[in-house]
Chain A
Amino acid sequence: MGPAFSIEKVYRRSQDVVARDIQGEFILIPITSGIAEAQDEIFSLNETGRLIWERIDGKKNLKQISDGLKQDYSENSQDIEADVCGLTEELLKRKMVEEVTNN
């Protein structure tokens, strides 16, 4: 079981991952061990994933991120929330993002 997940929570990008755009390919490169399952894995994000990744800023919660995306893109709001939550859950599972707690 991964950490408890909620759309009301705020997440930030882990310092142990470097995001790079190489020739239009958006990749996440783990710096420390324990992020990738194998020692030679890196991760590639699609366009949606990249948009969401860039908005996970440690300040807005996932609901606010979804609302921001709804304003910028005329997509079905349920689809956007599903995308934001789906990706964040995956990133959380892989320790590429972490929950921001108030204390």
Chain B
Amino acid sequence: MDDTPYISIEKTTTTSLWKNRQPSLLGQLDMELTERCNNNCQHCYINLPEDDLRAKSKELSLPRIKEILRDAVSLGCLRVRFTGGEPLLRPDFSEIYLAARRMGLKVLVFTNATLVTPELARLFSEVPPLEKIEVTVYGMRRESYEQVSRKPGSFSAAQNGIDLLLRHKVPFMVKGVVLPANKSEMEEFSLWARKFPGIDYPPAHAIFFDLNCRRNEKRNRLIKALRIKPEEGVEIITRDRSGYLKSMKQFCAKFMAAGGENIFCCGSGSGGASVDAYGVLQPCLLLRHPDVVYDLEKGSLRDAMENFFPAMRRRKSDNAEYLARCARCFLKGLCEQCPAKSWMEHGTLDTPVEYHCDIAHLQARYMGLIGENELAWEVVDGKSRVEKFVNQDEQPAPA
């Protein structure tokens, strides 16, 4: 009847299931199960206190979460990411997790691992998430870790959680953050991270922090004070010069072009979306501008994906500064400026973000794409500069 193999094995981490078919309306759903966290990390963009009863009382119920997951599955969703805050803070996390897996979803969990119990580790082992659990680690020692987490006992709790995952052979990876308290431990962290099964690549580090997700001014002052200087950040990401240049050549070949007047040059709200802890659908995990979020209590996931977000994605900028700079800038793909970052920094969808602009310019200078005093949005031959960079064999000297 059919000459192809009856059954073929696909790696969920590397395969695009729909191959040449139209992608699903909703391939991935992010769910913030809570905005609360048992840690109180200095730099974090989303960590209400664990005992914030007002926030807790507004969080989605288990039945409602299951409904949303079922709706997502009906739209072709294959992967859900449970994040927070700290998702394991929810006492019904296991039920949420099992429900998602029983619906045929792959589950990605973002956690600090401090709340991993033997029961939960066993559950992850017996009902595997099909994605590596991602554990953020804030320091290699109690002093550095807890200077960041500001929670006594959190270092040993995290170590215990990681040990449990290891003991139950649960696939996971660790990620770091670069803060004054742990900056000197970066190399040690990288070596430690590679000891875990299945990790043969350098761990990711959060280096350039996002501001608070609800634009809390007090939190933002602290985050801004902790932010690494663009020069120092770029020095870190270019430590492995040849690796950096190789990956940037691949990146630039695909993504470097001015975006024009369209505000949404990213994939936000297209094929993926994010539900906050209270049932509001966002086009991505970070974007909470009131004009572009959708209340799932008053509508449906399908309507949001079919109508609301496509209309949002057609929005064009009328901000003169954006049109003069970001819209014309050939570093658009390299720069982290996007509607979400604009919202977090300025409360708008289309304002240049100086911090990210500086970082993008420094990287472009390092790659030899622009000169010392050039501004990328004034460059008229950006495309040919990118082509030259992508095709050159020799590596340019650092600017």
User: Contact residues of A with B, CB < 8 Å?
Assistant: 18-20, 22-25, 27-33, 36, 38-49, 51-52, 73, 75, 79-80, 83, 86-87, 90-91
A47 touches B1 (CB 8 A): yes
Q: How far, in angstroms, from A91 to B103 measured CA to CA in the complex? A: 20
Identify B17's interface contact among A22, A51, A79, A86, CB under 8 A: A22
Question: B102 contacts A31, CB within 8 Å?
Answer: yes
Interface string of B169-188 (1 = CB under 8 A from A): 00100000000000000000
Q: Which residues 229-258 of B have a CB within 8 angstroms of A?
A: none
Residues of B within 8 A of A79 (CB): 1
A67 to chain B, nearest CB (A): 15
**Shortest Cβ distance from A54 into chain B, in angstroms?**
13
**Which of B2, B126, B131 touches A40 (beta carbons < 8 Å)?**
B131
Are A20 and B104 CB-contacts (below 8 A) given A32-B126, A32-B127? yes
Given contacts A18-B102, A43-B7, 8 further A-B contacts (CB under 8 A): A18-B103, A23-B23, A23-B24, A36-B9, A40-B11, A40-B130, A40-B132, A46-B5
A42-B1 contact in complex given A25-B19, A83-B6, C-beta closer than 8 Å:
no
Q: Taking chain A's interface residues, is the majority helix, strand, or loop, or is none over half, making it mixed? A: mixed
Tell me the dominant secondary structure on chain B's binding face.
Answer: loop
Q: How large is the interface on B (under 10, 10 to 19, 20 to 34, 35 or more residues)?
A: 35 or more
Q: Is B57 an interface residue (CB 8 A)?
A: no
The 3 closest A-B pairs by CB, nearest first: A18-B104, A49-B6, A48-B2
What B residues does A49 contact at CB under 8 A? 2, 6-7
Shortest beta-carbon distance from B220 to chain A in Å: 38
Interface centre among B5, B7, B9 (most CB of A within 10 A): B7
Chain B 1-28, CB within 8 Å of chain A: the 1/0 string?
1101111111111000111011110000
Question: B347 contacts the other chain (Cβ, under 8 Å)?
Answer: no
Give the distance to chain B from A26, nearest Cβ to Cβ, in Å: 10
Task: Decide if B125 is an interface residue (CB 8 Å cutoff).
Answer: yes
Q: Does B118 contact A (CB under 8 A)?
A: no
Closest partner residue, chain A, to B17 (CB atom): A25
Q: List 11 A-B contacts (CB under 8 A).
A: A20-B78, A20-B104, A23-B22, A23-B76, A32-B126, A41-B9, A46-B6, A46-B8, A51-B1, A79-B1, A87-B6
